[in-house]
Amino acid sequence: MTKTQIRDIITKIHFYLLGFALLNFILKNTIEISLNYRFAYLITILIYGSGIILFFWNFKPFKKIGFYFGFYAITPILTLLFWLFGGIFFGIIASIVLYPIQPNHIQIEKNDFVIYQENQGFLGMCCPYEITEKQFLILEKKIKEIDLNTEIEFNDNSIYTINGKTELKIKFEGYQFLERNLPERDTIILIKKE
């Protein structure tokens, strides 16, 4: 194989993966069924990796498509600048550029349910959570979103099923305005009713 053939194969793989990722994004936001999160993240990393390789491959002689692949090459540079210098400017720029590849954090995974803490970027609000249910082998269905404006501590007994109802039990600090205090209380959120 020649270098041109290898570059063409990597380009085709890159755009097929990009199309697959965009289809997954559309399905996730419309019918709320998507690929397993780990699998979708692997596809995203492969897209960025192939984009960086193709940027350097199209750099000399520079081609118009190099502008597109330049986005993938500038991502690690902006991350390095943010890490070295910090500050709000680099934080906002890095947040915008890194948003597609920052993974959601898995808080708890039990039975067929997974709770993710959604990534909100540099200046995002605190702690929205998404609850998904595994479907088949590589799919997930979004069940519910939780946003309590505070971080939740999960443990192994947080998700349980009783009488066909799957519930999430958490400790939640609810601010009481009249008493001006933060009492901690048990809160039960219904996840799924069969």
Give, as one character, the DSSP assignment of residue 104: P
Q: Residue 3: how many CB atoms within 10 A of its CB?
A: 8
Burial of 140 (0-12, 13-18, 19+ CB in 10 A): buried
> How many residues appear in the chain?
194
pLDDT, tens only, 2-41: 888 998 999 999 999 999 999 988 988 899 888 888 888 8
pLDDT per position in the chain (194 positions), as tens? 888 899 899 999 999 999 999 998 898 889 988 888 888 889 999 999 999 999 988 877 777 888 889 888 888 887 787 778 777 777 777 777 777 677 777 888 888 888 888 776 666 677 788 888 888 888 998 888 887 666 777 776 677 777 777 877 777 665 555 555 555 666 777 777 77
191, 167 contact by CB (below 8 A): yes
User: What long-range pairs does 135-140 form, CB within 8 A, spacing at least 24?
Assistant: 135/33, 137/36, 138/35, 138/36, 138/39, 139/33, 139/34, 139/35, 139/36, 140/33, 140/34, 140/35, 140/36, 140/37, 140/114
Give, as one character, the DSSP assignment of residue 89: H
Can you give the pTM of this predicted structure?
Answer: 0.77
Residue spans of alpha helices (H) in 86-160: 87-98
Bridge-based pairing of strands 128-135 and 139-147 is: antiparallel
